[in-house]
Amino acid sequence: MSDIYIILLACMPLGVIAGFAAGLFGIGGGAVIVPALYFLFSALDYDASFTMHMAVGTSLVTIIPTAISSSLTHYRHGAIAMPWFFSLVGGIAIGAVAGGFLALSLPGDLLRKIFAVLLVIMAGLMLIGKPKNGDNDPEINMFLNAAYGVFSGIISALIGIGGATLNVPYMVKKGLAINKAIATASLLGLCVALPASFVFLFTNNAAAEHSGVAFSFGYIHLLAAAGIVSASMISAKYGAKLTHSIDASKLKYAFAVFMVLVAIKMLF
């Protein structure tokens, strides 16, 4: 079977799962997409020196439309905490650019291990503190949020995620209701994916390092991205709707378990 058909047959179902997870957890789908693409590209015998980088770069591109889809659904429910978004977005965008360059400077195997370890750590962070269901927004520390945004942006772009695995626990810990934190993280994921994607697309000599891979540009596999996005745009809406009908504590533990399972699969 042609690699083209294999990629499409694998990536469209992946898009359904990733999109639903993106809407439900606000994660942008990267925690699902990166390991899946890593194993897919490895099975297709792509050069191991750039396989993980391509998985991360492709994941970041797919987050853009998925984040738009899920964010619009959250916005219609009035769940996005705009003051929190504006206090975090500047630092996140700066950090995303730095994280993209950092990812491309690391060996692929090290990048894979970093991905798995960070997911386990972030799952633990998600379980700290009691989730809140109230409507009152907590006080915002602008300086702290800006600094945290830089850190979050670096880590998110480094491993190809939308950043909710860092941003949701942080906002919940600061007192924001988890449903609002997830909704806000969906929009913030767009602000990670856009600048970081440009780094993976246009870094000098990126394409030359894997010129034998069809349908790729820079460190992004365009065909895989198209297959994922075509399905994730639809399923993200349903995941986002479900967020607003699930008990906060159950949502929080489901989010943490999901991250641990993905990390174990990726590491071993």
Specify whether the CB–CB gap between 56 and 206 falls below 8 A: no
CA distances from 26 to 23, 63, 107, 137, 186 (A): 5, 11, 29, 19, 5
CA distances from 149 to 219, 259, 266 (A): 25, 21, 26
Q: CA 177 to CA 217: how far, in whole Å? A: 40
Query: CA 243, 68, 191: angle at the middle one, nearest 5?
Result: 105
pLDDT tens track, the chain, 268 positions:
578 888 988 999 998 888 887 777 656 577 788 888 998 998 988 888 889 999 999 999 998 988 888 888 888 888 899 999 999 999 999 999 999 999 999 998 899 889 888 878 877 766 765 555 545 568 899 999 999 999 999 999 999 988 887 888 789 888 888 888 888 998 999 999 999 999 999 876 555 555 578 888 889 999 999 999 988 878 877 777 776 676 656 666 777 787 787 778 777 7
Complete DSSP assignment for 14-82: HHHHHHHHHHHHSSTTHHHHHHHHHHHHHHTT--HHHHHHHHHHHHHHHHHHHHHHHHHHHHHTT---H
The pTM (predicted TM-score) of the whole model is: 0.84
Specify whether the CB–CB gap between 191 and 80 falls below 8 A: no
Q: CA 260 to CA 65: how far, in whole Å? A: 26
Phi-psi region of 185 (alpha: psi -120 to 50; beta: other; left: phi over 0): alpha
